[in-house]
Amino acid sequence: MCKDPPDRTAEGIGNMHIIYENKFLRVEALKPQPAPAGSRVLLSFPGIGQKMDLIDVQTPEFAGIGREFGNTVFCYDKTRSWGNRLDWDVLTAAVRQAAEGSTLYSIGNSMGGYLAIVAGAYLPISRSVSFVPQLTVDPEAEPHDTRWRMYSNSIKSFPMKPASHYFAPETEYFIFSAGKGVDGKHAQLFPKASNIHHWVFPDAGHRLAANLKEQGELHRCIQSCFEGETEAVFSQETQRLSPAADAGLTPPAAACLAATGPLNSAAPA
């Protein structure tokens, strides 16, 4: 099994180029110019952030893998609302500024993993990679997961539905879930379909992506997903949740489907 080269994710990112920002959303790009037509663009959805001086600070995530793309666009849910306070039309229009004529890929961890899945319902995502995504944080739909209540308690309404509502038949999904605790319960609730490749790590917790990075396996894992390789091999035990024996099942219809293929001006803004 191949190991990753030394990680450079946090090094040499340089100044980001803000495309759009309001009090709920920030969209910024790694490169100032739009990606060349026909290239690949990565959409990275950061999670709630890392704890610094008693607050969670959001920083660019998966920037290292993003250097292999024509551009990387980071989409921040600034109030950690799991998309409930975001205007997806605004987010979509901002992405188009940096990705016109490009093929889109999405990635995220935890809250970002949920948003990376949702993005396929609003943008023509070719392949999406998610680590430990929640199915939902709506306390009425999932009353047992109290880990995110410091954020979810401030959300007055939940227009966003569980992640299962947003899977698009044209997008190929790669999901890596932890098996311990509430993460394992979330994992079992995700749909199964031929275009959803879902693994659970029975002995892993919510730091799954960080653990894979420490083991030198994260970069290659992500790279393989974006290349469409569906037979992942890891040093620790995994179980395949999807596709299952009933892989002929199609995923639920997404909330708002976009045509697959390169992003172009003919698509609605």
| pLDDT on residue 9 | 40
Residues 70/41, Cβ–Cβ less than 8 Å:
yes
* End-to-end Cα distance, the chain: 43
| pLDDT on residue 1 | 39
Helix (H) or strand (E) holding 209: helix 208-214
3-state class (DSSP) for residue 48: coil
Measured between alpha carbons, how far is 204 from 201 in angstroms, rounded to an integer?
A: 5
Measured between alpha carbons, how far is 248 from 55 in angstroms, rounded to an integer?
A: 45
Say which DSSP state 161 is in.
P
Taking 50 as the pLDDT cut, the residues of the chain under it are: 1-12, 247, 256-261, 264-269
3-state class (DSSP) for residue 236: coil
Q: pLDDT (tens digit, 9 = 90+) per residue, 149-198?
A: 989 999 999 999 999 999 999 999 999 999 999 999 999 999 999 999 99
Quick one: CA torsion of 104, 110, 114, 115, rounded to 10 degrees?
Answer: -50
- Burial class (CB within 10 angstroms; exposed 0-12, middle 13-18, buried 19+) of 109: buried
| 218 Cβ neighbours under 8 A, 6+ residues apart | 4, 7, 209, 212
Residues 174/166, Cβ–Cβ less than 8 Å:
no
Read off the tokens for 250. Answer: 């199609």
| pLDDT on residue 259 | 41
Supply the DSSP string of 121-148, one letter for each residue. GTS-EEEEEEES--S---TTT-TT--TT
| pLDDT on residue 117 | 98
3-state class (DSSP) for residue 208: helix
- Burial class (CB within 10 angstroms; exposed 0-12, middle 13-18, buried 19+) of 182: middle
The share of the chain scoring above pLDDT 90, in percent, equals 71
Residues 169/256, Cβ–Cβ less than 8 Å:
no
| pLDDT on residue 257 | 46
Measured between alpha carbons, how far is 1 from 18 in angstroms, rounded to an integer?
A: 39
**pTM listed for this prediction:** 0.87
